[in-house]
Amino acid sequence: MKRGQYYRLLLAAAANPSKVIAAAKTMSLHCSLQTEESSTKDTTGDALEYDATGQSYDISGSGLVLTPADTLNTGANSLNDMEGYVQNTLLYWRICLMEGTNNRTVVEEIASGQCKCTQLQIQGQNKQNASYNYTLNGYGPITVPAESVSSGDD
């Protein structure tokens, strides 16, 4: 099993993004299923029954604020890129297993999809590194490559 630092979010305004989030600290994918209670008088027992009505997801994360020169050296999405994304822009994302120098070489795509950046918060506290948090709301389905789906035999 790989540690968390090897799983990176790639984000861009064009399909098949190749740039990671600069100085990333955390990244989480949250999925939820909306349901509607569908029990009837014919339902057996006390258990309720539910029908799926939709799926939603969001991706959130945090990172350190780098100077523009430092970000250019990383080949990653800068804070300026992130600020530009909070403009009702449809974005493309991929979560990938990465290796190599600074974990920049894609080994395997875990999931991908489209989203809109709905929140970007920058924090600067006395005697601490400046940081930022972001939230990306899913837009459309999540794509999971067949080879990324576990068979349950592990």
The CATH code of the domain at 4-33+49-148 is 2.30.110
Reported as a single tens digit per residue, the pLDDT across 19-58 is 888 888 999 999 999 999 998 888 888 888 999 999 999 9
Domains of the chain, residue spans? 4-33+49-148
Distance CA 135, CA 62 (A): 9
pTM, two decimal places: 0.80
Banded model confidence at residue 148, pLDDT cuts 50, 70, 90:
low
How many beta carbons lie within 10 A of that of residue 59, not counting itself?
22
Banded model confidence at residue 1, pLDDT cuts 50, 70, 90:
low
Reported as a single tens digit per residue, the pLDDT across 67-124 is 777 776 677 887 788 888 888 889 999 999 988 877 778 999 999 999 999 999 989 8
Distance CA 99, CA 105 (A): 5
Region of 75 please: left (phi>0), alpha (psi -120 to 50) or beta: left
